[in-house]
Structure 1
Amino acid sequence: MKAILFCNIGWMSRYEGLAGKPDKIVGGGKFVAENETGLEVCNFLSCRDGYTYGHVETIQGEKDRQIQIEAFGGAGEYADEVEISSRHDKLQGSFERYLARAGATQVTPNVASVDLRYNDATRGLTLVEIKPCDKASARYAIRTAIGQLLDYRQRANADVSLLIVLETAPSNEDRSLATQNGFGVAYPLRGTFEFLWPTPS
């Protein structure tokens, strides 16, 4: 079995930087709280040289808690064949597979900053914002997604449905923040996805 290393870093939607992006970093410790940025803001951003560079802070106070990469088959300062997995990509992939089973058409990922768009037989063109989160951060995820989706809708210049896909079921109060303002919410549930749409007026 492969060894697994869990790293606590600040939470973002895309980790594609802050400049010109509808994203911010939340959590991540004292440095992030004081500077509103962190060295992890570009984690998972592919660079021109074909590599993806990431940062995990190991220093706490004056103590450097170095990662013992020997535990992963490495030696010195290097380890080969390390697999990095993004929760965002996993959630989006899972939702795309669900849409394929559900008969959605024209499923198109990652165009013009929109995580996903598809055509639904009932709701027509639907723009999707993917938000990995836990229950504690679900409200912030919804608030962020609302702003992003409004931006996408304006640029689409079309009558569209707006859907926020979360990693976990939101509280009643948090789901109401979305549905009472015209946004749908979906989240994984027992091998499928549960949908909550605004009640027609």
Structure 2
Amino acid sequence: MKIRPLSIEGAWEITPQQHHDARGSFLEWIRLDHLQTATGRPVRFGQGNLSTSTRGVLRGVHFADVPPGQAKYVCCVRGRVWDVVVDLRVGSPTFGQCEGIVLDDVDRRAVYLAEGLGHGFCALSDEATVMYLTSTTYRPEREHAVHALDPRLAIPWPVAAPLLSARDQAAPSFDELLTRGELPPYTTRHHFGDQTAGDQPAG
């Protein structure tokens, strides 16, 4: 398993070692010990989610209140998606920047992103199944979105006419959230994940 940091602090790409034979293949999808060593932060998960999307569907850009925030471990178990991490943390050296990588069912890469970062993806195959673990459980009052097509973010989505949910279509712009003081703060420690459950307070 290879774990490398992305250009945005608090985000990593994980490439597993796959073993193939006549029966099929095997890989370690996640190793908490390796992830904690590589990232230098505690890693715990409180919920697992699965979504299916048709070609051109765009989900995001989503983020959660900090604290406690919501770290995510994302992979595509079927098909192909373009996965994007957006730095929404006020005060971060890469504030407002994004990075995208392809996740698919061939290389089986995953992305791990810390609390405070925004996340979204678009489906590049006819069908795409994305699985992700989150450090906290779902609390709708803590969940937010920034408009994925906001020119201020200038995310180079590789689809001509992306299909967004009603919620994501109505999401405010980056500058609106910034003006209203609703973007998460930046911390160099990224240790909101010290809490084991989504309902516990974090320091």
Structure with greater proportional helix content: 1
Normalising by structure 1, report the TM-score. Answer: 0.25
Q: Which has the higher contact order (CA 8 A, sep 6+)?
A: 2
Normalising by structure 2, report the TM-score. Answer: 0.25
Say which one has the larger Rg.
Answer: 1
